[in-house]
Structure 1
Amino acid sequence: MVIRMRLSTVILPIHRWGEGQKIWRRAEDLGFHAAYTYDHLSWRSFREEAWFGAVPTLTAAATATERIRLGTLVTSPNFRHPVTLAKELVSLDDVSAGRLTVGVGVGGAGFDATALGQQAWTPRERADRFDEFLPLLDRLLTEPATTSEGRYYSAVEARNIPGCVQRPRVPFYVAATGPRGLRLAAEHGQGWVTYGDPRGPADVPVAQAPDVIAAQLGKLATACEAHGRDVAELEKVLLQGSTAEKPLTSLGAFVDWAGTYRELGITELVIHWPVPESIFANDLAVFERIATEGLAQLG
């Protein structure tokens, strides 16, 4: 069976809107399935540079576009609370007329993990928090009023009326590689997100990168089976940019890369919009050709 594959992009929230809106509109014109942005307060090598909020950026993008899906890739508990986040997502889903996808994950140990003054969480505490965060967010987005008391997150008659445009709620794409996260993806996700091996590009040779994804897909299938769910129900999303692979150097390189992951079962590829003089520096002309011709050449 030939796997249906979509192509999407990540647009970093680094542009003043006078310039940024042109990029989001261009993404729609190029035919991308979705345009996502990172939900961080700052990020890695961009820490000392312009970086705007994800939800305001996506709201502006929703008013500047008509067809392309929009979303976070990903939001996390690092500086979010489910009650306030749910209210923002309901509002954003309304502004976008039901075009919102919520990429959500456990979060990492980046700059914004301690921006609120908290001590850095251990990997176990991040997983424990996400175990509460995601089910509560699910309830908040599907119930008109929610009350819940947890160890980390609580809600007291939190109202979300009229609810999401998309029913029963906006889709969750859960970023996960470990057993607890994969269980949450099976329980709550409409999609699953991976960026490859968590160890990073320096530790995984290019030739081994597909094997990592294949193993993760196998674990996802096991988690879905344990939850009584068909893994085929979930979108399988691969975010490019965190491995040693270089699929954006040419159209041919992209076609080879995309074909490899389509064979494994990935249904959506997400590539980074080029940012000059950064780790995402790629030729814009090549990028646009990939956007318009790449998947068509898979046959």
Structure 2
Amino acid sequence: MRLSTVILPVRPWHSGGRDEWLRAEELGFHTAYTYDHLTWRTFRDGPWYGALPTLAAAAGVTARLRLGTLVTSPNFRHPVPLAKELMSLDDLSGGRFTLGVGAGGKGFDAVALGQTAWTPRERADRFEEFLPLLDRLLTEEAVSQDGTYYTAVEARTLPGCVQRPRLPFAVAATGPRGMRLAARHGQAWVTTGDPAIFETGTPEDSREALRRQLDGLGKACAEIGRDTDELEKVLLTGFTPDRGAPLESLDAFVDFAGRHSELGFTEIVVHAPIPDSEFAADRAVFERIATEAPAQLATARVTV
């Protein structure tokens, strides 16, 4: 199982931000992601820097660590300029970039450009056009499309990505439409669990919900004749009923990760600690998990 982290863009680059990315590489994380939002929930009234410039800076100071968004969405992005920026990030990182991408939500990003917040169906409709167009832009030399939501006129993304045929997509999805997009366009699938049981569910309820999601992914893959084993299965922690429990100790994390590995997940993502926030955690425990948990998970036997 791969162990990755999320570094929220809340620290100035020269006052702690740079050190966070360097430390993630030193600790041996597989990937360090960041949220691609204009701001986010409880951080709205504090510092919040742009995801893509931050990742460009991180690419310049790291050598092995993979980098990515978790996740980019249509809320304030258009596929044509986004494709050019993603190609550039893949180049700057030497082919170490992964695009986490999803339909978006109803937070601050949803209305920051003056638009009326889209309904869940409208978000799904836009995503069904956004993702295939982005795929084409990163794999074809010239792309034209006159879509319902997105237009491209002889758009060129040359010379293309370092990674071929393009950088990998990690598609966040829970419903049937999103699962079909993940099956068709994704190299990975991402979930945060079932939000309906976040407040009142148990860890057992959460794992059962994740089993159902994995079954849905399997059905979507079967519809197009794709082997579901071709997709990495990524769990972003912090949004299941367990909340911060997996970061309370090394043993707690190994138990949590082992149980989810048994379900079929291949990558667990934990938030780098941010004091006085919902992502507060003991830094020493976090670093011990990064350095010791992978070896333990390689030999652990957990009964689900």
Task: Give the TM-score of the pair, scaled to structure 2.
Answer: 0.96
Name the residue aligned to 2:265.
266
Q: Is residue 2:46 matched to residue 1:49?
A: yes
CA distance in 1, matches of 2:197, 2:38: 22
1:199 Cα deviation after fit: 2.0
CA distance in 2, matches of 1:131, 1:198: 22
1:201 Cα deviation after fit: 1.5
1:144 Cα deviation after fit: 1.3
Name the residue aligned to 1:206.
203
Cα offsets for 1:196-218 (capped at 9, x unmatched): 00325203222211111111101
Name the residue aligned to 1:162.
159
Conserved? CA contact 2:197–2:205, under 8 Å: no
Name the residue aligned to 1:17.
13
TM superposition outliers: structure 1 runs of 4+ over 3 Å: none
Give unmatched runs, 5+ long, in structure 2: 300-304
Name the residue aligned to 1:291.
290
Name the residue aligned to 2:27.
30
1:15 Cα deviation after fit: 0.7
CA distance in 1, matches of 2:64, 2:84: 23
Amino-acid identity (%): 67
Of the three residues 128, 135, 138, the one matched with 1:141 is 138
CA distance in 2, matches of 1:144, 1:96: 22
Q: Is residue 2:4 matched to residue 1:8?
A: yes
Cα offsets for 1:160-182 (capped at 9, x unmatched): 11010000001000000000000
1:235 alignment partner AA: E
CA distance in 2, matches of 1:13, 1:244: 25
Secondary structure at 1:269's aligned position in 2? strand
Secondary structure at 1:294's aligned position in 2? helix
Conserved? CA contact 2:197–2:206, under 8 Å: no
Name the residue aligned to 2:80.
83
Q: Is residue 2:226 matched to residue 1:224?
A: no
Name the residue aligned to 1:127.
124
CA distance in 2, matches of 1:46, 1:112: 13
Of the three residues 82, 94, 97, the one matched with 1:100 is 97
User: How large is the RMSD of aligned CA atoms in angstroms?
Assistant: 0.7
* Paired positions, count: 295
Moved more, 289-298 or 127-136: 289-298
Secondary structure at 1:237's aligned position in 2? strand
CA distance in 1, matches of 2:282, 2:209: 28
Give unmatched runs, 5+ long, in structure 1: none
CA distance in 1, matches of 2:66, 2:18: 15
